[in-house]
Structure 1
């Protein structure tokens, strides 16, 4: 969809107006005034009402209470507006609302993202009958256009494109979304964004010493890859960001087979890699003054005669040996090799990994917050604050050394699931993070994001279709750009 700025007097199509639930709007049109008078409680978040006044159509969309409005609510407000009108009209014009504590340029960015995310729906590729989208243009009405407004408009479009890439890759069926398909998409991103790409196949990875990745990959007939994208934005800087994404394109659990109920959702186990690829695409277009390496580790976790087994001991690229107690805890095995690669081969000085790692994080935080685990409080606080600015929620969990004993092994350096708690699976998300942390060298700043609860949402929302979310992309760009 084309989204552009317009100035006073240039409204096109349906005019979209935000309504606060706790503040009476200052409308001039008598039809709008009458509706609000007759419906004084109107204004709940994403509540919609289409009204007609002469030749003009208006869409009223609720914003909730004014003091509670943030970037996420504005984004979803715009998404609800666009999604409501997708099959109805060709053009719409947003009247940009005034929001306490958020600049107009930030509101513009949020509106652009919400509008573009609303249009995405992969089901149109597979359903035999779909309603065509007729909405082609969205206009953002501002009193006076500025360079900053234009830059944030562009940034919003870039971020939305990156998020929709991650959403598309996540939503694709696993018979199509294989490691090979993901590699083809990474090559497109590298070519378009002029990023350096390096690909390690299974034999090359094993030769390097990535024993954990190789063990997981052995069980699948699909070729597996470690994909590295490099962006150089500041040749003088010594600092280099390492973004690492888990990319299990389908996770059966391996020999430790998952229950069949709900297993279809395990196509989303590559969402961490999808978010890293989306972030690298946005980085290549927005060109922050930073040096960044993105490492995506792609495979399937499948049972076969070649699968790794409970009881196996693997040598990871970090040099540490890992005892496998459960093959369904494969993500941490992949990530310890991937973060070691980012440090050892690409000299990353700070690390962020994203992974749909544990069901335990959903028990703790539901579908609303991403779990944060870190060895550096300042770094973690910066990420959480960056998330607040762009409408992504994070919650930090403890990483005290007291948890180290829960991943100790009698035979190897570490074990791939925690043990010793008062109930099975105790501190499951923390022990998963502790395993990955064992690969962090010289205590460089590192954050693990457990996105198992936030990487996909199968509930229909008024502002977006169900499926993958592309979580973390906005936060990474905000953090790196600071």
Structure 2
């Protein structure tokens, strides 16, 4: 989307949206104000009373209303809106609404970037808005990329295609390519390293797994500030602990974490972050097959611990565990952030608006909370309960990957991951509920992660 400052001249065939804020009881309205030959003008009233309480509802309504204006040249008139955070919310919701995600039909345009349409900003303080608008456009470009990959079908967006997508993106942008080092770790190297937890998940697939590693160095220090690790299960059938048929509908989104971290590092690089960052995305299907992992199998993790498989559908924590160990061994990061569509129990607890957050470090959690609030992406802290570690003890290995005992519920999966953190600062984000809505990706947390690492 090309963003231009409004100039005092006639614009033809443009739709103008005039935004107002108020404290009326009606939190949002979307009405045609006037109509003439040159312009169609809409008036949009936003209620700022109880703003924090109502912002998710405002975002939903804006997205719904503006989705009808895809592929249009528009004027956004913010002359009557004083608060920058409200403009940011409106603008972000519009960018999301007019985005075109993955669609394959007879009339589909086979071009991810599509046609550039103009958005003209009309405001009394463009200079104050300019930096925010530039940043928002960059962030939403990578939200769009992330949604595109997540919405794509698993027979097309497989591990190889996923990796090639980012190689292609960097080849298209020389400035970005010079900043990002990209490596695809093939299955053979994963085997040589002994990353058997993640490899166990791949045993049922006919397609070899891969691990995408992207590095960005924003300063001259010989340390990595942030390691981002994203779960990349291309399609999750549950393996032999197979999911019911209707539970598999959204399982193409099980690679959301991988898509998010890979796009977030590109966004940070384009914004010239002063941080050193690595993004790691282990990519595989979790399927049933002649060689698939079985309940009762034992595998050695990359950090040396042996894990008994008690549930093949608890596979996300297996690929994350080895990927986290890879980050620690290869980079020794100051902070680790992992993100995954990990557990149904967090989805039931948090719903669609909130991402579940677990952390062993107050400073890291509080910083991410602040950055996510700036991006209007809600997180909710959940407890790391040490009692869960008792439930994960195995009679035949160091630990097991799951337990039927739900006494401590949603804390079990992060308790497993914590076994591989080795005392590092760590934040775990469970996006099982927030990653998709009505079978479409939301691209959640791309902006928040960019915001903390930029």
Deviations 1:395-427 (A, max 9, x none): 1111132221121111111111135x4xxx343
Where does residue 185 of structure 1 map in the other structure? 165
Note if 1:141 corresponds to 2:122: yes
Match among 157, 166, 169 for residue 137 of structure 2? 157
Where does residue 330 of structure 2 map in the other structure? 345
- Equivalent residues of 1:7, 1:145 under 8 A apart: no
What is the CA–CA distance in structure 2 between the aligned matches of 1:170 and 1:49, rounded to whole Å?
A: 34
Deviations 1:8-39 (A, max 9, x none): 7777733212344634xxxxxxxxxxxxxxxx
- Equivalent residues of 2:186, 2:209 under 8 A apart: yes
Q: Provide closer, same or farther for how the CA distance between residues 97 and 412 of structure 1 changes in structure 2, counting only shifts above 3 A.
A: farther
Report deviation, 1:163: 0.3
Q: Provide closer, same or farther for how the CA distance between residues 97 and 226 of structure 1 changes in structure 2, counting only shifts above 3 A.
A: farther
Give 1:18-417 correspondences, 5 Å limit. 18-20=19-21, 22-23=23-24, 43-45=26-28, 47-55=29-37, 56-68=39-51, 79-80=63-64, 82-86=66-70, 90-98=73-81, 102-103=83-84, 106-122=85-101, 124-126=103-105, 128=107, 136-146=117-127, 149-191=129-171, 192=173, 193-194=176-177, 195-236=180-221, 238-417=223-402
Q: Provide closer, same or farther for how the CA distance between residues 176 and 249 of structure 1 changes in structure 2, counting only shifts above 3 A.
A: same
What is the CA–CA distance in structure 2 between the aligned matches of 1:190 and 1:406, rounded to whole Å?
A: 45
What is the CA–CA distance in structure 2 between the aligned matches of 1:96 and 1:331, rounded to whole Å?
A: 48
**Structure 2: unaligned runs, 5 residues or longer:** none
Q: Provide closer, same or farther for how the CA distance between residues 8 and 400 of structure 1 changes in structure 2, counting only shifts above 3 A.
A: farther
Deviations 1:150-181 (A, max 9, x none): 22221111111100111000101111111111
Q: Provide closer, same or farther for how the CA distance between residues 60 and 250 of structure 1 changes in structure 2, counting only shifts above 3 A.
A: same
What is the CA–CA distance in structure 2 between the aligned matches of 1:20 and 1:11, rounded to whole Å?
A: 25
Report deviation, 1:81: 5.5
Note if 1:3 corresponds to 2:3: yes
What TM-score, normalized by structure 2, do the two folds share? Answer: 0.90
What is the CA–CA distance in structure 2 between the aligned matches of 1:219 and 1:413, rounded to whole Å?
A: 24
What is the CA–CA distance in structure 2 between the aligned matches of 1:386 and 1:126, rounded to whole Å?
A: 38
What is the CA–CA distance in structure 2 between the aligned matches of 1:134 and 1:163, rounded to whole Å?
A: 18
Where does residue 427 of structure 1 map in the other structure? 408
What TM-score, normalized by structure 1, do the two folds share? Answer: 0.85
Aligned residues: 442
Deviations 1:95-153 (A, max 9, x none): 25535xx53xx5554444333222223365325489xx99932211121432x532222
What is the CA–CA distance in structure 1 between the aligned matches of 2:77 and 2:394, rounded to whole Å?
A: 59
Where does residue 35 of structure 1 map in the other structure? none
Question: Which segment drifts farther, 136-145 or 153-162?
Answer: 136-145
Q: Which secondary structure does the structure 1 equivalent of 2:44 belong to?
A: strand
Report deviation, 1:65: 3.9
Q: Provide closer, same or farther for how the CA distance between residues 235 and 71 of structure 1 changes in structure 2, counting only shifts above 3 A.
A: farther
Superposed CA RMSD in Å reads 2.6
Q: Provide closer, same or farther for how the CA distance between residues 54 and 260 of structure 1 changes in structure 2, counting only shifts above 3 A.
A: closer
Q: Provide closer, same or farther for how the CA distance between residues 320 and 450 of structure 1 changes in structure 2, counting only shifts above 3 A.
A: same
Q: Which secondary structure does the structure 2 equivalent of 1:66 belong to?
A: coil
Q: Which secondary structure does the structure 2 equivalent of 1:399 belong to?
A: coil
Q: Provide closer, same or farther for how the CA distance between residues 231 and 186 of structure 1 changes in structure 2, counting only shifts above 3 A.
A: same
Q: Provide closer, same or farther for how the CA distance between residues 135 and 241 of structure 1 changes in structure 2, counting only shifts above 3 A.
A: closer
- Equivalent residues of 1:3, 1:138 under 8 A apart: yes
Q: Which secondary structure does the structure 1 equivalent of 2:165 belong to?
A: helix
Deviations 1:446-481 (A, max 9, x none): 0110100011111xxxxxxx6111111111122223
**Structure 1: unaligned runs, 5 residues or longer:** 24-40, 459-465
Note if 1:478 corresponds to 2:451: yes
Note if 1:467 corresponds to 2:440: yes
Deviations 1:213-245 (A, max 9, x none): 111111100121011000000113635210000
